[in-house]
Structure 1
Amino acid sequence: MATLDPRIAKVTDRIIEKSKPTRSAYLQLMKDEGERGIDRKRLSCGNFAHGFAAAGDDKKAIRTFSGPNIGIVTAFNDMLSAHAPYYRYPEQMKVWAREAGATAQVAGGVPAMCDGVTQGQAGMDLSLFSRDTIALGTAVALSHGMFEGIAMLGICDKIVPGLLIGALRFGHLPAILVPAGPMPSGLANKEKQRVRQLYAEGKATKEELLAAESASYHGQGTCTFYGTANSNQMMMELMGLHIPGAAFANPGTKLRQMLTRAATHRIAELARDKKRPLAEVIDERAIVNAAVGLMATGGSTNHAIHIPAIARAAGIVFDWDDLAEISHAVPLIARVYPNGSGDVNDFHHAGGMAFTAHTLLEAGLLHDDILAAGHDDFLAFATNPVESDDGIEWQAVTDTSNDTMLRPASDPFQPDGGMRLVEGNLGRACFKTSAVDKERWTIEAPCRIFHDQKDVVAAFEAGELDKDVVVVVRFQGPRANGMPELHKLTPPLGVLQDRGHKVALVTDGRMSGASGKVPAAIHLSPEARGGGPIAHLRDGDVVRLCATNGTLEAVGVDLASRDASQAPPPPVGTGRELFALFRDQADEAEKGGSAMLAAMEAVL
């Protein structure tokens, strides 16, 4: 393959250098855990008997150490389309583990919440911290010491990062992620967006809106737009944590079942041979590969929070400067809704992850020497699995079948990636350029201040925003209210933009992988709670946002001379008061917006 691009090599080397103390400490801890930590052979007879008492047909094999025992951590629930397919996975995986001379047990379950269900509701305030909860649940599940390998069943927004963060505390064990795939395509995303905007303008009824949404989200599997869930799957492929090509096969198909069987056999092999532990698989190169894929495909802005958090759990220091440099080096090669018209199924059929890996490797933009869990050779991730008489056959994909959606790195949609760092006297924030027309990359207008996205919608409906405006929604960061996605803002701000106004959003909250065509500076750090510069803005202050120059500033305003606005009272109801500790101790978005990781580092 091609020599690694010197810009990618430079960022990787910098990450390695600044991570030396923490990475070394992490790897030493994992070495100690492997040598002296809890495992089946170190359990007392009483402990051990409890661990296999309910193992049924596998009891003898577990008791006599006849093969490795795989711990399954599952995010199954049957309310959410993406996780409903996991219902039968554990019992199937137990059969497939026996085929490979191993056993498998469900170590534990973790919550899987859907931002689509909680969007704009009180429950969304729990969303970011559900990642920490999932990590803690994963650690509890694996703490029994009964396992030689880990299989993680999870696919959506906070679930995959949470599973990884938790599993990395058991990084002396090999681990693999088992996806379930996207639902088949339903109503075209452009039509869904059209109905949403009509409803925002009062030109469509609630019944018409519900009919459109139901035709879009209609069956088992992840949502088909390229949001955080599907960006997760892209990243897991390029980090080598899947069976190659597992990301986007639909649920309920024979190929999906065959891929899950292959994943079970693979983790049994890794566990038996005690090779490719998770701590070594997720290294600095794998983290860079994830970021390269994110930029190349215009993936979810949520990963500007999740990648630093996953890295941090592995003792790796990764920040938005690293992300920005990678973005400048990596061309945008995919346009998947909301950055294009086709969905992830169309992306998959155009060449999908196989072609993405192929063209990025050919351009020297990926590390091809990472220690992948899903295959002994990372180059296998440039192949696509297809059914054959003998099982799965992996075929090389060297070209795109739809260059309106997926292009080679030599002929990209944009010369750089889909996200930029903007900074200035208001702090540091992320701007997803891949979804925004270039003529809107620079917006300068008076601002209007809000502390709740519902108030923005109300002002829009009252006609108060029908002008050039920078909408500032503050006290939305991790410490204020858990950093909910502000997805309800997309339709009204899109309407204002379509009316010819210069419109932008500036917030210390999130906008998610569904961030659309309106320019937005999101994840602003430091956040308003605690006195970040955004807390000093006033209605009418002129704000300039420019992705071209990477600036975000209040023009001609001495922010330091003003008192900060008072924070709203902490949220209560819908269980939000239970997460007060998480909010109070959370660190900034650029570090991952986690209370748990900050506390963990203090202990270590």
Structure 2
Amino acid sequence: MHPRILEVTERLVERSQSTRARYLELMASMASDGPHRGKLQCANFAHGVAGCGVEEDKQRLRLMNEVNVGIVSSYNDMLSAHQPYEHFPEILKEALRELGSVGQFAGGVPAMCDGVTQGEPGMEMSLASREVIAMSTVVALSHNMFDAALCLGICDKIVPGLLIGALRYGHLPTVFVPGGPMPSGIPNKEKAEVRQRYAEGKASREELLESEMKSYHSPGTCTFYGTANTNQVVVEMMGLQLPGSSFVNPYTPLRDELTREAARQVTRLTRQAGQYVPLSRVIDEKTIVNSVVALCATGGSSNHTLHIPAFARAAGIQLTWQDMADISAVVPTLAKVYPNGNADVNHFHACGGVPFLVRTLLDAGLLHEDVYTVMGQGLRHYLREPYLEDGRLAWRDAPMNSLDEGILRPVERPFSPEGGLRVMQGNLGRSVTKISAVVADQRVVEAPARVFHDQAGLAEAFKAGELETDFVAVVRFQGPKANGMPELHKLTPFLGVLQDRGYRVALVTDGRMSGASGKVLAAIHVSPEALDGGVIAKVRDGDVIRVDSETGELTVRVAADELARREPASPPPGQGIGYGRELFAFMRHSFSSAELGASAFTAALDELQ
């Protein structure tokens, strides 16, 4: 193993010793010698089986040696990534029935699309939806009728939310079931060019709409490498779903057979099958380190600097940004997928995908091989890829070499010697930045501040021609406690245009920039946030700010005594009200800092664990 990976793992184990032990004790106390449904009162049990549509299922559930699998799904037919899940429950139930097992649809979780809500009021509920999904997962599993669980989810907050919830039922074997990406549409470079021309007023709305609809054109996950597809790589390399299953397109025979195999595989992990592997055993400190390696090696979404600490904490593991940055410093960038390159995830999958990444990272000592996975002990199970042989699922060794080194490379020939994730700190607080798509001469910006309280203010200033200069955009009151920490992806085209015109620009915000952030230097997730006493609330137009991703400096060039005298700005009136946002006020008040995952559960879990 690489000494840095070992060092981070060892300190993570030491730091988490007491909380992890208490978590495992809780999971052990929740586990039982046999199916929990066997201990239910007769009336309770009758309620639990009354809805079975097949009489045979009812009778099987009375036998404690049969497996009952709870299905938790994020299906809705508005969200392209999750539309295919409409058909998965019946596929899963049929596969389970063939084994003499039973599948029950335990519950649905909400699935909102950040692509639809970008720049809209609904985006302020996006991060909070992760907590709602976690709670919905717990509610779905709360009937204690199940011996195992299947979690159906792909996109941004949905997989982390499902995992947080499932970890609170970590005594159950659990397999995640992906749905796959839509086929490739127009090239990502072409899409980005139309967006930028529209921001400059050089393309009509009709042209923009035509471009977007050619890009997002069918059921399946969006094909750029944002948070949704980062989820898939991370979850696969954590050993939570079947090898090579992340990027098989929906509505194909191979996708359907992988779905059936997920049902079959989860039954093999139950007590009844004799090789009990609960989720709490699969997720440990080594698995969490592997998740960060997966993120860094692929230049994945900066949103995972929130999500990985949050779901790690749900398993009693206390991951920090510094842990993640230290891993990033020694993990090379091996993938170039939009926005870090021009390829999409279908191209990434075709040239070797996750199995190739696992091979090259394992051989370099950058991944822990000695972990439990849903395929058994050892990450080398993930060096295989699925295919159909006479209509049946089979496995073969994945390619030894990348089929296109313009997209995917071995450790020996990386795109960059590091993963591009940095911790920034200074008198403005702590933040993170992702520089994998930022060119070298744009990684340090020192310029006067232009302060905004939302994305719309910056857009208006751009259209008025007020930003034709070097500047650092400070967009504040966008943190978790202020308004739920919406993504600020709408800023990208405007700042990108100004950078292309030769101006030196950067962004500093207590909000999020999304998994689609790219070429503009951005210090995001600034903590403390403006509403929580952060210095970012005291910055004024014209203050010189240095954003140095090389040294990790995030500083406003104002004397300490001057900053102390300044009154912090007030949040914009009416923030967080309307379109149902007021119902999430209690959750915003409970959110932890971004470094602790911006989670409403942090305080409760810390008290418990």
The 5 Å alignment of 1:241-390 reads 241-271=240-270, 272=272, 273=274, 275-389=276-390, 390=392
What is the TM-score when the length of structure 1 is the normalising length? 0.98
Deviation at 1:268, TM superposition (A): 1.1
Contact 1:199/1:206, CA 8 A, preserved across alignment: yes
Q: Which residue of 1 aligns with 2:235?
A: 236
Contact 1:541/1:557, CA 8 A, preserved across alignment: no
What's the secondary structure of 2:460's corresponding residue?
A: helix
- Look up the equivalent residue of 2:91 and give its one-letter code: Q
What's the secondary structure of 2:365's corresponding residue?
A: coil
The 5 Å alignment of 1:41-52 reads 41-52=38-49
Deviates more, 1:503-512 or 1:38-47: 38-47
Contact 1:5/1:364, CA 8 A, preserved across alignment: yes
CA distance, structure 2, for counterparts of residue 37 and residue 93 of structure 1: 23
Aligned equivalent of 2:589, options 564, 584, 587: 584
RMSD: 1.2
CA distance, structure 1, for counterparts of residue 457 and residue 348 of structure 2: 37
What is the identity percentage for the equivalent residue pairs of Structure 1 and Structure 2? 56
What's the secondary structure of 2:217's corresponding residue?
A: coil
Aligned equivalent of 1:418, options 412, 416, 420: 420
Q: Which residue of 1 aligns with 2:162?
A: 163
Q: Which residue of 1 aligns with 2:109?
A: 110
CA distance, structure 1, for counterparts of residue 288 and residue 100 of structure 2: 33
- CA deviation profile, 1:475-519 (whole Å, cap 9, x unmatched): 100000000000100000000000000000000000111001110
Deviation at 1:280, TM superposition (A): 1.1
CA distance, structure 2, for counterparts of residue 11 and residue 561 of structure 1: 40
Q: Which residue of 2 aligns with 1:27?
A: 24
CA distance, structure 1, for counterparts of residue 108 and residue 454 of structure 2: 33
Contact 1:297/1:418, CA 8 A, preserved across alignment: no
CA distance, structure 2, for counterparts of residue 497 and residue 510 of structure 1: 20
- CA deviation profile, 1:235-263 (whole Å, cap 9, x unmatched): 01110001111111010111111111111
What's the secondary structure of 1:105's corresponding residue?
A: strand
- Look up the equivalent residue of 1:310 and give its one-letter code: F
Deviation at 1:377, TM superposition (A): 3.6
Q: Which residue of 2 aligns with 1:136?
A: 135
- Look up the equivalent residue of 2:165 and give its one-letter code: G
Deviation at 1:36, TM superposition (A): 8.9
Q: Which residue of 1 aligns with 2:564?
A: 560
CA distance, structure 2, for counterparts of residue 377 and residue 178 of structure 1: 20
Q: Which residue of 2 aligns with 1:574?
A: 579
CA distance, structure 1, for counterparts of residue 295 and residue 174 of structure 2: 22
Deviation at 1:533, TM superposition (A): 1.1
* 1:538 to 2:569 alignment: no
What's the secondary structure of 1:170's corresponding residue?
A: coil
CA distance, structure 2, for counterparts of residue 498 and residue 447 of structure 1: 19
What's the secondary structure of 2:16's corresponding residue?
A: helix
Q: Which residue of 1 aligns with 2:508?
A: 506
Contact 1:148/1:173, CA 8 A, preserved across alignment: yes
Q: Which residue of 1 aligns with 2:440?
A: 438
Deviation at 1:597, TM superposition (A): 3.1
Contact 2:329/2:420, CA 8 A, preserved across alignment: no
CA distance, structure 2, for counterparts of residue 139 and residue 109 of structure 1: 11
Q: Which residue of 1 aligns with 2:601?
A: 596
**How many residue pairs align between the two structures?**
601
Deviation at 1:350, TM superposition (A): 1.2
The 5 Å alignment of 1:394-473 reads 394-473=396-475
Q: Which residue of 2 aligns with 1:149?
A: 148
CA distance, structure 2, for counterparts of residue 246 and residue 134 of structure 1: 23
Deviation at 1:355, TM superposition (A): 0.7
Aligned equivalent of 1:16, options 4, 8, 13: 13
- Look up the equivalent residue of 2:295 and give its one-letter code: L
Deviation at 1:441, TM superposition (A): 0.6
Deviation at 1:430, TM superposition (A): 0.9
What's the secondary structure of 1:434's corresponding residue?
A: coil
Deviation at 1:99, TM superposition (A): 1.9
CA distance, structure 1, for counterparts of residue 338 and residue 258 of structure 2: 26
Deviation at 1:102, TM superposition (A): 1.2
CA distance, structure 2, for counterparts of residue 54 and residue 206 of structure 1: 49
CA distance, structure 2, for counterparts of residue 103 and residue 36 of structure 1: 19
* 1:527 to 2:517 alignment: no
- CA deviation profile, 1:534-576 (whole Å, cap 9, x unmatched): 1111110000011111111112432233221112233111110
CA distance, structure 1, for counterparts of residue 100 and residue 265 of structure 2: 12
CA distance, structure 1, for counterparts of residue 333 and residue 605 of structure 2: 36
- CA deviation profile, 1:453-495 (whole Å, cap 9, x unmatched): 1111000000111100100000100000000000100000000
CA distance, structure 2, for counterparts of residue 106 and residue 259 of structure 1: 19
- Look up the equivalent residue of 1:296 and give its one-letter code: A
- Consecutive unaligned residues in structure 2, runs of 5 or more: none
- Look up the equivalent residue of 2:595 and give its one-letter code: E
Deviation at 1:289, TM superposition (A): 0.3
Contact 2:339/2:517, CA 8 A, preserved across alignment: yes
Q: Which residue of 2 aligns with 1:100?
A: 99
- Look up the equivalent residue of 2:151 and give its one-letter code: M
- CA deviation profile, 1:167-206 (whole Å, cap 9, x unmatched): 1111011101000001000011111100001110111111
